[in-house]
Amino acid sequence: MKILIVDDSADIRSLMRAILESKGHTVVGEAGDGAAALKLFRETGPDIVLLDIIMPGMSGVEVLEAIRGIDPSARVVMVTAVEQDRINRRLLLNGADGIIYKPFKQSDFDDSFRDVMQRKPPSAPAAEKGTIKRMVAGGLSRCMLKTSEATSWSWGLHGVEVLPGRAADLVRLASGFGAEAAAVQINVRDASPFSAALVCHSRNIAFISGCFAQEPLYRTGAIGDLEERMFMEVGNIILNALAGPLITALNTEAIPSVPILVKGGPASIAASLTACMERDGDFRVISAGLAMKREGSVARAGVLCALPNELAARLEPGT
């Protein structure tokens, strides 16, 4: 691969060059400051940029933002001696594709490059298979990072799948949260509408609803209106992170509806998701697993989306 090295230390740049070239990579340029880095980025078109954080003039974060402005699909791996969760989350929120810590070893580059290339393959036309999955995974991943940053909870995304399906498949997936599953749902009503829902067991509504409070809103009795309203707000944030990239890619000005709370178990959730679509029609089912952790406690939830085939075909022609 073609690599651009950006670090204010000539010794560090030489060490990285030696490691990379020993693995068969091509170093297309070295830069000791942000201005030189941006100039070389435009001139060389590297596959990956290795970018230091602390540099004279522009910081690495500022260079990262500038690179994203030039090419949003660029692959940028930060190289830093600062290993703090809050700083790492900010780097990822600003668009970094990975982090390598100093002092580094040869295997660090191998592992980071492999992860980056798997998550962010070379740019391809929108017609490439997997476009929907990448858009949804990207939107939800950014949402999980932002929510972790804002709430002090640990939010995780555990897999995204896009498969052909029918209403029965939605029932099956929602059944994974028990007979008392409940959901927050939004609808996108356009010429070709679709729906999405955040699903969990009803007992976890109180836990999830406490994520933006100073303390979890645990209750020993029945779940109240406050918990349900806050749960709907959390769901609205997550579901808009899924719907937003799809709406943008479809080049439509559709606006997701206000969230609604759906009770009654898996069958009710599936019926609500497909209510605005052709009865008994085929569609794409998008599913993803979420986990919310705080102080040793974990709540599990899932995201489900029913996407009509005609919309899927616009996003991935040939599917």
Q: What is the CATH number of the domain that holds 157?
A: 3.40.1550.10
Helix axes 225-249, 131-151, angle to 10 degrees: 140
Domain stop point among 88, 119, 150: 119
Residue 125 belongs to a domain: no
User: In this predicted structure, what is the pLDDT of residue 126?
Assistant: 40
Return the number of other C-beta atoms located less than 10 Å from residue 309's C-beta: 15
Does the pLDDT value for residue 127 go beyond 70? Answer: no
Half-sphere exposure of 239 (CA within 13 A, CB side): 32
Two tokens, residue 229: 């309203």
One domain for residues 108 and 220: no
CATH number (domain holding residue 64): 3.40.50.2300
Two tokens, residue 78: 């930060």
Residue 13 belongs to a domain: yes
The Cα 42–Cα 129 span in angstroms is 29
Number of domains, the chain? 2
Residue 217 belongs to a domain: yes
User: In this predicted structure, what is the pLDDT of residue 41?
Assistant: 95
- Please tell me which residue, 103 or 92, carries the higher pLDDT value: 103
Domain stop point among 92, 119, 146: 119
Half-sphere exposure of 229 (CA within 13 A, CB side): 4
One domain for residues 303 and 200: yes
- Rounded to two decimals, the pTM is 0.61
One domain for residues 310 and 269: yes
Contacts of 287 (CB under 8 A, 6+ apart): 160, 161, 163, 173, 302, 303, 304, 305
One domain for residues 63 and 161: no
User: In this predicted structure, what is the pLDDT of residue 298?
Assistant: 86
User: In this predicted structure, what is the pLDDT of residue 82?
Assistant: 67
**Residues of the chain with pLDDT > 90: what percent?**
40
Residue 278 belongs to a domain: yes
List the beta bridge partners of residue 287: 161, 304
Residue 264 belongs to a domain: yes
Contacts of 46 (CB under 8 A, 6+ apart): 2, 3, 4, 28, 29
Residue 124 belongs to a domain: no
Contacts of 110 (CB under 8 A, 6+ apart): 23
Residue 171 belongs to a domain: yes
SS3 label, residue 303: strand
CA proximity to 3, closest of 41, 43, 47, 37: 47
Average pLDDT for 85-104: 70
Contacts of 134 (CB under 8 A, 6+ apart): none
Edge-to-edge, what's the strand order for the sheet holding 297-308? 154-165, 283-294, 297-308, 194-201, 181-188, 260-262
Does the pLDDT value for residue 261 go beyond 80? Answer: yes
One domain for residues 111 and 195: no
Does the pLDDT value for residue 93 go beyond 60? Answer: no
Range(s) of the domain holding residue 53: 2-119
User: In this predicted structure, what is the pLDDT of residue 239?
Assistant: 94
Residue 263 belongs to a domain: yes
One domain for residues 135 and 15: no
One domain for residues 41 and 183: no
- Please tell me which residue, 96 or 233, carries the higher pLDDT value: 233
One domain for residues 186 and 301: yes
Average pLDDT for 302-318: 88
One domain for residues 152 and 275: yes
One domain for residues 294 and 153: yes
User: In this predicted structure, what is the pLDDT of residue 87?
Assistant: 56
One domain for residues 235 and 300: yes
Q: Say which range, 11-20, 199-208, 226-235, 272-281, has the weakest mean pLDDT.
A: 272-281
CA proximity to 168, closest of 277, 31, 266: 266
CA distances in angstroms from 310 to 80, 164, 192, 283, listed in the order given: 46, 12, 8, 8
One domain for residues 68 and 110: yes
Domain stop point among 99, 119, 139: 119
H/E element, 225 = helix 225-249
